[in-house]
Amino acid sequence: MKLTSYWHDSASAFTGAETGPVEGDVDVAIIGGGFTGLNAARRLAKAGVRVALLEARHVGAGGSGRNGGHLNNGIAHGYADAKAHLGAERAHALYRAHDRSIEMIEEIIAEEGIDCDFRRAGKLKLASKPSHVAGLRANFELIQREVDADTRWLEKENLTEEIGSPRFHGAMLYEKAAMIHMGRYATGLADAACRHGARIWENAPVQNRARAGSGWELATPRGTLRADRVVLATGAYTGQVKAAPFGWFRRRIIAVGSFIIATRPLTDVEVAATLPGNRTCVTSMNIGNYFRLSPDNRLIFGGRARFSAVSDEQSDAKSGEVLRESLARTFPHLANIEIDYCWGGLVGMTKDRFPRAGEQDGLIYGMGYSGHGAQMSTLIGQSLADMAMGQKDTNPLAELDWPAIPAYSDKPWFLPFVGLWFGLKDRLS
């Protein structure tokens, strides 16, 4: 079993990074080489803006290359909750923004010729308990009536055509949801950005940001870059950027581990017995699971597993054992299947689980996707690029207040208690 991301291991490495020292003057510098930063760089370079991107490790090293491979439309924790929290107009706009971001990904893939197995698969939100059916169906009826006609309700007896597990009691189908190979998409975005004129430095963590006339200097171990504008696109990994004043963001972003395993490739018979519908799937539990088939027919099976803010080989392996047990409960016929990959990554959560994008103290930022970053980040990257060019009407998150989390800096001491609370809710639901 490899303790590495399947997406990283099965994609070609990006080869267009700068090999020399970090130096020069640019119009816009971007910190972070995930989908947000890469599409911002691509957008700016296409517009003729001098743009450079600084990535602490390698392109797609963070959440963009460590997720479950889903491009799920909809709002993570329910449209009804979003309406109650944000109001109907903003909730509707946010729902549409998720749809638009998947459309944008599809357009970019076609325009740039990125080979990453994009497919409009559809997503199943599965009722894990009989008691979950009524609430899930009510959410479906509200969404279909107000914001998304491309949805369907599936009764329990209809699920045999979709999933080979008896554990679920109904499902909502989001027909616009999609899936891609995340590693190949990241490399393709980076190649496209460079082809249009962006410069990308890997292994160049930003250690400090300081005023330099009307612009900024970004210091890295490999040199210093000067920029008129700076875009921060570090997401859950913002806590690893210690340069001031990034602490403002570290008081607002909670890094939560999400962990994933991937089986050996399934046979055709095993595929038919497991996910004959070949869609992305997510369960209705608070501490639930998400799963799909990879392009080479592995079952990619993920979830919170453990409420931890650490993702390293030791933590990932512990979480992998929890996921293996959950996989066996969900698909008993795969209980003893070989696990080829086990990895983890950090999800950037906000307190209310809505993403944020805007400007703070001279930094243009986009982050806090709260588990929906794979799809939302491409659109937000374009919005951040527009903001850097003075266009502010494409940001679907404009003027959304973002208060700090009380008694929190960047160490989520409360995660074990959150895990206990959600576990109790699941038992009582």
Q: What is the pLDDT of residues 148-205, one digit of tens each?
A: 999 999 999 999 999 999 999 999 999 999 999 999 999 999 999 999 999 999 999 9
**Which CATH number do you get for residue 281?**
3.50.50.60
Domain assignment of residue 367, yes or no: yes
Instruction: Reply yes or no on whether the pLDDT at 241 is more than 80.
Output: no
Instruction: Kindly state the tokens that stand for 90.
Output: 């903003």
- The answer to whether residue 243 scores a pLDDT higher than 70 is no
In this model, does residue 244 exceed pLDDT 70?
A: no
Residue 424 within any structural domain of the chain: no
Question: Residues 333-352: pLDDT tens digits?
Answer: 999 999 999 999 888 989 99
Question: 119 and 419 in contact (C-beta within 8 Å)?
Answer: no
Judge whether 243 and 209 are in contact, CB under 8 Å: yes
Three-state SS letters, the chain: CECCCHHHHCCCCCCCCCCCCECCEEEEEEECCCHHHHHHHHHHHHCCCCEEEECCCCCCCCHHHCCCCEECCCCCCCHHHHHHHHCHHHHHHHHHHHHHHHHHHHHHHHHHCCCCCCECCCEEEECCCHHHHHHHHHHHHHHHHHCCCCEEEEEHHHHHHCCCCCCCCEEEEECCCEECCHHHHHHHHHHHHHHCCCEEECCCCCCEEEEECCEEEEEECCEEEEEEEEEECCHHHHHHCCCCCCHHHHCCCEEEEEEEEEECCCCHHHHHHHCCCCCEEEECCCCCEEEEECCCCCEEEEECCCCCCCCCHHHHHHHHHHHHHHHHHHCHHHCCCCEEEEEEEEEEECCCCCCEEEEECCEEEEECCCCCHHHHHHHHHHHHHHHHCCCCCCCCCCCCCCCCCCCCCCCCCCHHHHHHHHHHHHHHC
In a domain, 425, yes or no: no
Name the CA radius of gyration of the chain, rounded: 21
Distances in Å between the Cα of 184 and the Cα atoms of 87, 117, 246, 397 are: 37, 9, 30, 28
Q: Is residue 394 part of a domain?
A: yes
428 located within any domain = no
Whether residue 426 lies inside any domain: the answer is: no
pLDDT confidence tier of residue 245, bands split at 50, 70 and 90: low
Digit-coded pLDDT (tens) for 30-65: 999 999 999 999 999 999 999 999 999 999 999 999
Query: How confident is the model at residue 421, as a pLDDT?
Result: 72
pLDDT digits (tens, 9 = 90+) for 366-376: 999 988 899 99
pTM: 0.95
Query: Is 47 contained in some domain?
Result: yes
Domain count, the chain: 1
- 58-67 pLDDT per residue, tens: 999 999 999 9
Distance CA 122, CA 142 (A): 19
| pLDDT at residue number 319 | 87
Tokens linked to 285: 């539990």
User: Does residue 96 carry a pLDDT above 90?
Assistant: yes
pLDDT(307) > 90: no
Structural domain containing residue 205: 6-418
